[in-house]
Structure 1
Amino acid sequence: MKSSTTHINVRPGVLYYGNTVVLLSTTNPDGSTNIAPMSSSWALGDTIVLGMGLGSRTAENLAARGEAVLNLPGPELFRQVERLGDMTGVEHARSQHGHGSMRVTDKFAAVGLTPEPSEHVSCDGIRECRLQIEVKVVHCEQDAGQDFLVVQAHVLQVHADPAIVVAGTSHIDPTAWKPLIYNFRHYHTLAPQIGESAITETPTPVQ
């Protein structure tokens, strides 16, 4: 057993240690768009890995139709994100992730978000999200515990609000873009910058 005077052993109920919130758009069987909040995602080059509960409408749509839009909300949308957590697109509503889910057909209207047509996939993006990433699924499998679906997706196109892009480049301005962060089931965003990596390629915006 580890012995330490600086740490104690704990068993957190969930390990959402500061993950970026995503509103994931997927295509329903009838061609309409489902949106669902998630915070289990990470990017490596042009590959994005997503994790979600089995049996959800999102998981079913991804496995069946293989396309999605990752809509990244800012902190001003946290109330819509939280309300979406209580909604489901499956026919039989059920409690999930601590939420008592209710069946909702048009989630856009239910929370006051605006659908926006995509370029390479059939599901809509969310206009209010300043970053939208269209992806195509390349691999799906269950996790080791067979509770979740783990998806690898290839980035097809990134759409950004010009206000968060360094002028004349394709670089997102990290001083202008503030993502919504899910930190141990509490909503946060980024504090002011304290430094930068030596390998950054983003030019300093002209003030």
Structure 2
Amino acid sequence: MHMSITPSILYLGTPVVLVSTVNEDGSYNLAPMSSAFWLGWRCLLGFEGVSKTPQNLIRTGECVLNLPSADQVDAVNRLAFLTGSNPVPAGKTLRGYQFEREKFEVSGLTPVASETVAAARALECPIHLEAKVARVNPVMADEYDYSVHERSGECTLEGIVCIEVRITRVHTHPSILMDGKRNHIDPDRWRPLIMSFQRFYGLGPELSESRLAKIPEAMYRTPDVDRAAIVSPAKIK
């Protein structure tokens, strides 16, 4: 029998993406995220609006989506609690984040030139997707005043934005391609790094203790959780 529950987050398991962008001073920013999904050669990316990555995306109109495999879990974990925003936004300060300009260096990943965008690719990641911004959409922009909760400290997220990007170039390591098929990624060889409820997994048991898992899930809770509790059930027709 199923139960009705009210989890603070609904991070049910998606691939980790290292999004690289260009800062105002020309340096590279590199940020891990997992709120991403693909439709054709488009990708929808969800960010906290005050984060450096969406600000860079909106300003420059481009990025690289670097997809790490299970082998890069330590590099991804080294980027936890780091932000390219200076000063650090209030919500991230509450979660223990610190400013870091040299994220490639901290992660141990190697920046290499892209072909269609100025942002760098992360050499060690098996898949690189160069991309350009197609549309920026606010999230949680309905009639409800979420800013009341943000100002009161009840919600540590400071606005969410969904950015649609168009893929302009795909790079893959030969080791994950099907034999004799240049344009086909072999799912038996490609092992993406997955984040599920703030924890790292491959396509199997948990790989490593995630530093981000130390943040209480309730710190990500938004008013939508409570709003859902007071909505009347839909009438069955």
Q: Which residue of 1 aligns with 2:189?
A: 176
Stretch deviating more after TM superposition (76-85 or 13-22): 76-85
Aligned-partner SS, 1:84: coil
2-side partners of 1:91 and 1:60: how far apart?
12
Aligned residues: 187
Question: What TM-score do the two structures reach when normalised by structure 2?
Answer: 0.75
1-side partners of 2:67 and 2:48: how far apart?
20
Q: CA deviation at 1:112?
A: 1.0
User: Which whole-Å deviations, capped at 9, do the CAs of 1:79-138 have from their partners, x for residues lacking one?
Assistant: 221221211111112453974111111111112111111110001010110000000001
Q: Which residue of 1 aligns with 2:172?
A: 160
Q: Contact 1:32–1:123 at 8 Å: present in 2 too?
A: no
Question: What TM-score do the two structures reach when normalised by structure 1?
Answer: 0.85
Q: CA deviation at 1:76?
A: 2.0
The structure-2 alpha-carbon separation of the partners of 1:189 and 1:121, relative to structure 1 and needing over 3 Å to count, comes to same
Superposed, which structure 2 residues align to 1:38-57 within 5 Å? 38-57=33-52
Residue 154 of structure 2 corresponds to residue 142 of structure 1: no
Residue 115 of structure 2 corresponds to residue 102 of structure 1: no
Q: Structure 1: which 5+ residue stretches go unaligned? A: 1-5, 192-207
Q: Contact 1:33–1:124 at 8 Å: present in 2 too?
A: yes
Q: Which residue of 2 aligns with 1:68?
A: 63
2-side partners of 1:59 and 1:152: how far apart?
11
- Indicate which of 9, 15, 18 corresponds to 1:14: 9
Q: Which runs of 4 or more aligned residues in structure 1 lie more than 6 Å from their structure 2 counterparts after TM superposition?
A: none
Structure in which a larger fraction of residues adopt helix: 2
Q: Which residue of 2 aligns with 1:124?
A: 120
Residue 25 of structure 2 corresponds to residue 30 of structure 1: yes
Q: Which residue of 2 aligns with 1:190?
A: 203
2-side partners of 1:97 and 1:150: how far apart?
22
Q: Which residue of 2 aligns with 1:204?
A: none
- Report the identity percentage: 38
Q: Which residue of 1 aligns with 2:219?
A: none
